[in-house]
Amino acid sequence: MPKKTAATTEYDLTFVGHMCFDEIIPFRGKTVRAPGSAVLCGAMVAARVGKRVAAVVKMSPQDKRILKPLKDAGVDTYLIPAEVTTYSRVTHESENVDQRRITIVRTAGRIRLDEVPKLHSRSVHLAGISDSEFDMDLLRGLKSRGGHLSVDLQSFVRQITPVTQEIAFADVADKQAIVRMMDKVKLDVVEAKILTGTDDLEQAARIVESWGCPEVVITHSQGVLARACGNTYYEKFSNRSVVGRTGRGDTTFAAYLCRRLEHNPEDSLKFAAALVSIKMESPGPFHGTIEDAFRRMREKPGK
């Protein structure tokens, strides 16, 4: 059988961003250190629900062992070499899982357009964890390649503070230009408030939509809202615990993108809410199956 190459393989979804090491310090719990990132959470979802998936990751080649879960799941990985692998520390200082202190201890740095292989992919998702990964030149370049493009706006709202390396959540000067280039965008309620001035999910989604993006997904602790095709949809989460809260938004949006390839926004949102509810009940990326997600869609425990 001929070897698959970037020039010959057709992908449903390609995730672009940093791989990283996550250090999670829970409120009243044991610290956990493990490979992480928005790319890892998203690509694992897509692979487990049967999509053809690529991950373009910037990291140190010395740490390539952490790509094993992706490879084992069937994800084709394309490594952009960097001097270091990003290391993120997330501290939960209260019982409110949406209140977190994030420190980027070290970062692999910006991803340049010439570092991203020209893959044949139905959809490309920019899955960053801070403003150290993407810039406008990369976005414009990827847009010029054609195809469906989406971004997690945390990639710009989360801004690394010099010296302390702590993440400060702040407005983004180019937010409307960024959104205008996208077919879909994802954000959470904190980012929505910073970017739009309101934490009302539907109002925030309408504002982002008015900047030129036809599809907007916003998560918060209770559920997820989508504004698509001029309509608004909302689904509550049904998780029994929040021990796997880290990666909630990344998992939600990846599940939505996967389902959205063949289904309407309402069905895709139901699927995403069900799948991420399962993920939040255990730490790490989603390890279930598409059948698990369908079962949760039918059962909706806790309702």
The predicted-structure confidence for 273-284, as pLDDT tens digits, reads as follows 999 999 999 888
Is the pLDDT at 224 greater than 80? The verdict is: yes
Average pLDDT over residues 55-67: 97
Separation between Cα atoms, residue 181 and residue 106, nearest integer Å: 29
**Tokens standing for residue 34:** 């493990």
Average pLDDT, the chain: 93
Nearest-CA neighbor of 216 among 197, 238, 237, 231?
A: 231
C-beta of residue 48 within 8 angstroms of C-beta of residue 288 = yes
pLDDT band for position 2 (cuts 50, 70, 90): very low
pLDDT band for position 120 (cuts 50, 70, 90): very high
Domain boundaries, the chain: 10-299
CATH number for the segment(s) 10-299: 3.40.1190.20
pLDDT at residue 303, as a whole number? 44
Separation between Cα atoms, residue 262 and residue 41, nearest integer Å: 21
pLDDT (tens digit per residue) in 49-60: 999 999 999 999
pLDDT at residue 1, as a whole number? 33
Q: How many residues does the chain have?
A: 303
**270 or 91, higher pLDDT:** 270
Is the pLDDT at 105 greater than 50? The verdict is: yes
Is the pLDDT at 134 greater than 80? The verdict is: yes
